[in-house]
Chains A and B, each alone.
Chain A
Amino acid sequence: MTKTTKTRRPGTGGLQQRLRALEGELNGIFTAAAQGMIIADAHGIIRRFNPEAEKIFGYRADEVVGTSLNCLMTDRDRHQHDTYMQRYLKTGKAHIIGIGREVYGRRRDGTEFPLYLAVGELPDTGGGRQFIGILRDISKEKAMEAALRVSEQELRLMIENAPIGVITLDGEGHVQYANAALLRMLGVMVDDIEGSSFESWIIPDDQELFRQFRQKVLMHRAGSAIELRLRPPGGELLHVGLHGGLVDTPLRGPMITAHVINRTPQVLAEQEASAHREALAQVDRLNTLGEMASGIAHEINQPLTAIATYAQAIRRMMEQLPAMPPEMHEALEQMSTQAERAGEIIHRMRGYVRKRAIAYEATDLNECLRSIVKLAMSNVRENEGHIHLELNAGLPRVTIDSVQIQQVVMNLILNALDAMKMVAPEHRKIVVRTHRPAPDCVQVDVADRGPGLSSSVANVLFTPFVTTKAGGMGLGLPISLSIITAHGGKFWHAPNPGGGMCFSFTLPVATEAADAAL
């Protein structure tokens, strides 16, 4: 007994005290924990239920302590819980114990929610096996995750279906991703391009350009834009604008992401317009040269003719005199011969310049005018003018050299703009009109609201070198007249009713079309 008493170690009361203190601490933790804590026995009867658990499930502790865990579980988990528990008790193999997993709980109001649950077994202190569940309501996280997933999906969908091409290249320039628009643009399938080197899609001439672009983006970490020509296998040449920047990805390192715009139609249209402009300029140069030569020929031929003829007249008159020194005869003869020679040179030069190819073709006149007006728009805007087209839709085709006719209309538009410099911008209106005054011809009018003809030129219009402009050559109208005459048309001008001038020309209509109209 003594032994027993002896065996009662001194300070047993202190131990008790310490145990109580420990229990107090545990209680404190249990109460204050930000995690739900539930202690249950091996039969699933709840022993303890902390305030956080109360908050999570909506039960008060006194309502559930002593009842089964079942009320906290969804039907599916409830069944599993039983099986897990049986197995664990039998085999000691834990499915959830010590691991933690996401399960569903049920609140008092019957709503189900996701929770993160870790379960552990408490040391048996004599009251049978006990288990503790530590749990956290993760419905907020779950909702956020889901939202994130949705928005990521939306983003993907948006990029995938964006109306412009989107491409992602890895640091080596291999295609990591190409969206649907880009695949369509290239006319390929996703497998054709993903993983390939993007450079292999670029025509050789532009590859160096692309290398510089990559360098710039990767080294200087700067966004950059380039124009490239791509040649998909078996496809047409594509002109694209590529605008890209650097993205640092956690997994795959620095990547280039770029949007790609198909600029082929614009580039082709630009090329066509500039070819058109070039053709027109070429024709303009030749016409100007021709008309100049012709004008010079006329101007110089007159004095040459006078010189030659005077000399011939004198020679003939002197021949009738009694004594004509042979040298004088010779000199006069030479004067006329040399004048003729000069004339011959001018004619040859003129003939040379005149030899230009004229390409007559059946043409839609309105189309021809629309395209030249488009080309003239930059001049029109520069002069703050406006052009109105009044094109008669029912015109037959005409057989013309459309570039030459466009040159005529261009000359008339430029003249109209020059003339209207003197009037207020809001009145600077040009009307380009087509109609069919008779079955055998179509007519084009170019009317302006300028001040009309200056009296100094009114009678000599269409004569080369007649101009009132500081920078004018006075060749626009003579060239136009030559062109229209060569086409078998007429060219005239009249005051525009209401102010300004109206220049008009006709073009003949092929006879079958004219007959059909009769």
Chain B
Amino acid sequence: MQPSEAVVYVVDDDHSVRQAVCMLLRSVGYRPVPCATAAELLDKLQPDAGGCIILDARMPGMSGLQLQEHMNQRQLDLPVIFITGHGDVDMAVMAMKAGAFDFLQKPFKDQALLDSLERALQRDEERRQRLEGRRRLREKLALLTAREREVLNGMVAGKANKVMALDLGLSERTVEAHRARVMEKMQARSLAELVHEMASFDNQESFP
């Protein structure tokens, strides 16, 4: 993802810090969205768009940590980089436990923030790609008939057509025909590609 496409939310109750960070981000081509409070962030947040949150851990009202917990509950998975005046180890540990991507002590080096941001966005991009892939796979799987699903499962398990024909009580030709349709509907160029695609999501999601 190019920097210009990423939305970076900057949440800090201090106007100057907020403005300075946004300026820094703009200077390298990001599109920062300033937020003065956690509530404002939740209001502006676009869950489906990619991006990252730069968050002050200590704010009146909902604190950064509470916000992180809130987002976890609502399954808002944007990576969060905490910046805080509190460089305590225990605070950092708490933030990381709560699922923070990184933890920077104020005042920070610009490069440290930008590096962290880049990694966070990259991870977010990967996450979004995985989500996208999973969504597409689910779509393709939805096109299969029940019989085709059975054949697909056999293919992924590495069974020969003959064995599948026996298992399913079909002729070998029919199995072959199903097989071709599965390859077509799954838009797979090779069996290896199909198996790989299925396997990469296998442990994360049960198929319908």
Contact = CB atoms under 8 A, between A and B. Distances in A.
A and B: interacting chains: yes
A486 B27 CA distance: 40
19 contacts: A297-B86, A298-B58, A301-B85, A301-B107, A304-B107, A305-B17, A305-B106, A305-B108, A306-B17, A308-B20, A308-B108, A312-B110, A313-B27, A313-B110, A317-B23, A340-B108, A347-B87, A459-B61, A463-B60
A319 B95 CA distance: 35
A316 B28 contact: yes
A155 interface: no
A460 B24 contact: no
Given A294-B86, A305-B17, A460-B60, A316 B24 contact: yes
Given A298-B58, A304-B106, A343-B106, A312 B24 contact: yes
| Secondary structure of the A contact surface, majority rule | helix
B114 to A, nearest CB: 9
B23 A310 contact: yes
A306 B23 contact: no
A310 B17 CA distance: 9
B7 interface: no
Contacts of B189: none
A338 to B, nearest CB: 10
A460 B21 CA distance: 24
A309 B58 contact: no
Interface string B72-101: 000000000001011110100000000000
A351 B64 CA distance: 22
Interface centre among A317, A320, A339, A342 (most CB of B within 10 A): A317
Given A309-B24, A343-B107, A298 B86 contact: yes
Contacts of A316: 24, 27-28, 110
A171 B207 CA distance: 108
A259 B86 CA distance: 63
Given A308-B108, A310-B20, 4 more contacts: A301-B106, A304-B106, A305-B85, A317-B27
Interface string B54-79: 00001011000000000000000000
A478 B205 CA distance: 45
Contacts of A309: 17, 20-21, 23-24, 107, 110
B14 A302 contact: yes
Interface string A309-350: 110111011001000000000000000100110110001000
B145 interface: no
B171 interface: no
A499 interface: no
A459 B63 CA distance: 12
Contacts of B24: 309, 312-313, 316
Interface in A340-388: 340, 342-343, 347, 354
Contacts of A308: 20, 107-108, 110
Nearest to A297: B85
A340 B107 contact: yes
A309 B86 CA distance: 18
B16 interface: yes
A463 B107 CA distance: 20
Given A312-B24, A316-B28, A302 B85 contact: yes
B16 A302 contact: yes
A428 to B, nearest CB: 31
A24 interface: no
Contact of A302 (B17, B60, B109, B110): B17
A308 B83 CA distance: 14
B105 interface: yes
Contacts of A336: 107, 109-110
A461 B82 CA distance: 23
Interface residues of B, number: 26
B149 to A, nearest CB: 46
A294 B57 CA distance: 14
Interface in B164-208: none
Contacts of A294: 86
A313 B19 CA distance: 10
A219 B21 CA distance: 85
A313 B20 contact: yes
Contacts of B27: 313, 316-317, 320
Contacts of A304: 106-107
Contacts of B28: 316
Nearest to A298: B85
B146 to A, nearest CB: 47
A10 B117 CA distance: 165
A446 B18 CA distance: 38
Contacts of A310: 16, 20, 23
Contacts of B85: 297-298, 301-302, 305
Interface centre among A308, A309, A312 (most CB of B within 10 A): A309
A387 B27 CA distance: 61
A204 interface: no
A307 B110 CA distance: 12
Contact of B16 (A303, A317, A347, A459): A303
Nearest to A348: B87
Nearest to B25: A313
A301 to B, nearest CB: 4
Contacts of B58: 298
A472 B15 CA distance: 27
Interface in A443-465: 459-460, 463
B152 to A, nearest CB: 48
Nearest to A299: B85
Contacts of B105: 343, 347
A460 B60 CA distance: 6
A313 B111 CA distance: 11
A340 B83 CA distance: 14
A267 B88 CA distance: 43
Interface in B18-57: 19-21, 23-24, 26-28
Contacts of A301: 85, 106-107
B23 A313 contact: yes
